[in-house]
Amino acid sequence: MVRRKKIRTRGKLQLSRYFQRLKQGETVSVVAERALQPRFPKTLNGRTGVVEEKRGRSYVVKINDKNKEKTYIIEPIHLKKIKQIESKKDDKK
């Protein structure tokens, strides 16, 4: 886990990540933006989850924590989209 931002990006915010739109069911990764005060637990950094809904300007994300399913309300600047690769099954006839 990186504790600092690179020197050239320090203090800057990516506005495209701040205003990104996520759809229900998309898979996201939680990446803490160091330029802002984090509003979620530090242990949440690096976890992946599924977007459930939009609540205000934040998103409700469902994350599996060991055996329990938990929901967190996270601002979009702390979320990063993950592309899922669909596995193709060969139909044998």
State the DSSP string of the chain: ---S--TTTTT---HHHHT----TT-EEEE---TTS---S-GGGTT-EEEEEEEETTEEEEEEEETTEEEEEEE-GGGEEE-PPPPPPPPPP-
Strands 68-74, 58-65: parallel, antiparallel or unpaired by DSSP? antiparallel
Spell out, as residue ranges, where the chain has pLDDT lower than 50. none
In this prediction the pTM is 0.79
The pLDDT value recorded for residue 35 is 80
Q: Which two tokens stand for residue 81?
A: 């989209």
Ordered by start, the domain boundaries in the chain are 23-81
The pLDDT value recorded for residue 33 is 84
The pLDDT value recorded for residue 90 is 59
The pLDDT value recorded for residue 52 is 96
Q: Return the CATH number of the domain spanning residue range 23-81.
A: 2.30.30.70
The pLDDT value recorded for residue 44 is 87
The pLDDT value recorded for residue 88 is 66
